[in-house]
Amino acid sequence: MKKIFTKAPARKHKFQAMFPGTAIPPQPIVTRWGTWIEAAVYFADHFEKIKTFLNDLDSEDAKSIKKAKLVIRVSTLKKDLAFIKANFECLVTGVTKLQGKGMPLATSLEIVESIRTSLQSMRGRTEFLNKFDRVIARNNGFLQMKEISTILSKGKSTRQDNFIDMLSPEELSCFLYAPITSCDVERTFSKYKQVLGDQRRSFSFENLKMHVVIYCNSFD
């Protein structure tokens, strides 16, 4: 479906004419697994529309159309999409929320815990919850953030951690709004790449520092 709409404005117009108000199918990104789940949820919500649209296309126009028509006829497809939407839509929602700015650390951890609760509610399919727990258990940084949140909210610690013990009270308090994702760091990369360009090679250190501060604090 992604290839069907890539560089094909006529097909996009055709889809919008057939189903006004319905968004064009999303374009999953290989390196962002959440976009694939988002796409699966979309197809679960608009399965019959997609099927009708595909049947209205000529299979000889493109190989992608022919392949999509074969896939849409697979007997287990509707069941698979329903399963993904019912059980994994919480991942898409949770990841989207975690990408927000200025979120308290405790709120971010609550979102992660809500995802775990949703996976826990899947009866008979414990492999997803087990993998979630294994990933969390291996992420020592996440466990440290969770411990710091406990200290900030309850004033006590549940386990010994050398890194946390090295932090001063002032440093610990700075974690109140600490993000648990790398989104903010990646945003700074996008902003800072504008600081130095072909026409900006003669910065003094003070001017460079001021530009970095401006870009860091901008909300665009």
Q: Which residue has the higher pLDDT, 183 or 139?
A: 139
Nearest to 39 by CA among 92, 79, 77: 92
On the question of pLDDT at 57 being above 80, the answer is: yes
On the question of pLDDT at 219 being above 70, the answer is: no
Average pLDDT over residues 129-147: 94
Q: Provide the terminal-to-terminal Cα distance of the chain, rounded to the nearest Å.
A: 32
Residue type (1 letter), 126? T
On the question of pLDDT at 99 being above 80, the answer is: yes
Q: What pLDDT score does 215 carry?
A: 75
Q: Both tokens of residue 209?
A: 């520092």
Cβ pair 188, 168 in contact under 8 A: no
Q: Which residue has the higher pLDDT, 211 or 119?
A: 119
Cβ pair 151, 178 in contact under 8 A: no
Q: Both tokens of residue 3?
A: 């290839």
Domain boundaries, the chain: 1-99, 101-179, 183-217
CA 80 to CA 91: how far, in whole Å?
Answer: 16
Confidence grade of residue 65 (pLDDT, cut at 50, 70, 90): very high
Phi, psi of 125 (to 5 degrees): -130, 80
Calculate Rg over the CA atoms of the chain.
23
Q: Is 32 helix (H, G, I), strand (E, B) or coil?
A: strand
Cβ pair 181, 98 in contact under 8 A: yes
On the question of pLDDT at 220 being above 70, the answer is: no
CA 26 to CA 93: how far, in whole Å?
Answer: 15
Distances in Å between the Cα of 220 and the Cα atoms of 187, 216, 217 are 10, 10, 9
